[in-house]
C-alpha cells in the first residue's frame, strides 16, 4: 500500500476523508510532458483536458489488450468508454480489418504510461471490466485520441457524456482519411 493510500485509508477510518474517491484533498502534481507525445502526430491528438480534482490518482498501464481495452495496475481490466475498435488477430472474436493497427496505435500511445481514470455512469460492463475515460499525464484523453487517429469508431449503442465529442472526432478522422478511413 502506497503512503498516500495508507493516509487516505486512515483518514477514511477517522471520518476525515474528502472527495468521492475517499482520498485526502491533496492537489495533484502538475502534469509532466511525456517524451513519447511527439510520436503521435499533432493532427491526431485531442486538445489536452485538465486533470479533474475528483480523481488525481495515477495508475500505470500494464498491458494493451486491444484497441479499446487495457489493464491498469491496482484496477485491472479497463474498457475505454465510447470507443469501438476493430478486433485484433488472436483475440476472443474473429479478427477484423485494422484491428492489429488499432492495438498497435493504443500500445504506442498508452503502454507503460501513468494514467488518470474518470468514470461515467455504470462502473462495470457485463464482462466485469471497469468502464473509464483514460487520461495521460499531459491531459490527453486516450479514448478520444484513438478515434481521432482513425483507428476506432465512437460507440453508438450507449449514452455517455463525451459522445458528441467522440462523434466529432470520428467525423474529422473520416474527412481527413486517417487510420482505417484511408481511401
Of the residues 45, 57, 79, 178, only one is catalytic, namely 79
User: Catalytic site residue 156?
Assistant: no
User: Catalytic site residue 42?
Assistant: no
User: Catalytic site residue 34?
Assistant: no
Of the residues 45, 57, 118, 129, only one is catalytic, namely 129
Alpha carbon distance 50, 128 (integer Å)? 28
Read out DSSP for 123-172? SB-TT-PEEEEEEETT--BHHHHHHHTTSSEEP-SS--TTHHHHHHHHHH
HSE-up of residue 74 (Cα within 13 Å, Cβ side): 11
Alpha carbon distance 140, 145 (integer Å)? 7
Cβ neighbours of residue 34 under 8 Å, at least 6 residues apart? 113, 136, 137, 138
Nearest C-alpha neighbor of 79 from the set 62, 88, 67, 96: 67
Of the residues 45, 57, 87, 148, only one is catalytic, namely 87
Q: What angle do CA 27, 75, 1 make, to 5 degrees?
A: 65
φ and ψ at 118, to 5 degrees? -135, 140
Residues designated catalytic: 79, 87, 129
Amino acid at each position: 500500500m502506497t503512503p498516500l493510500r495508507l493516509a487516505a485509508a486512515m483518514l477514511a477510518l477517522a471520518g476525515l476523508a474528502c472527495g468521492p474517491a475517499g482520498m485526502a484533498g491533496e492537489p495533484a502534481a502538475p502534469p509532466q510532458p511525456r517524451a513519447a507525445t511527439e510520436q503521435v502526430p499533432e493532427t491526431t491528438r485531442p486538445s489536452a483536458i485538465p486533470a479533474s480534482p475528483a480523481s488525481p490518482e495515477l495508475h500505470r498501464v500494464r498491458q494493451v489488450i486491444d484497441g479499446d481495452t487495457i489493464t491498469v495496475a491496482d484496477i485491472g481490466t479497463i474498457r475505454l468508454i465510447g470507443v469501438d475498435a476493430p478486433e485484433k488477430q488472436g483475440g476472443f472474436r474473429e479478427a477484423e480489418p485494422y484491428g492489429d493497427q488499432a492495438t498497435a496505435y493504443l500500445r504506442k500511445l498508452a503502454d507503460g504510461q501513468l494514467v488518470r481514470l474518470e468514470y461515467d455512469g455504470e462502473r462495470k460492463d457485463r464482462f466485469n471490466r471497469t468502464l473509464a475515460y483514460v487520461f495521460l499525464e499531459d491531459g490527453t484523453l486516450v479514448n478520444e485520441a484513438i478515434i481521432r487517429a482513425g483507428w476506432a469508431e465512437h460507440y453508438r449503442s450507449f449514452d455517455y457524456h463525451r459522445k458528441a465529442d467522440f462523434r466529432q472526432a470520428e467525423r474529422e478522422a473520416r474527412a481527413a482519411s486517417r487510420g482505417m478511413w484511408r481511401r
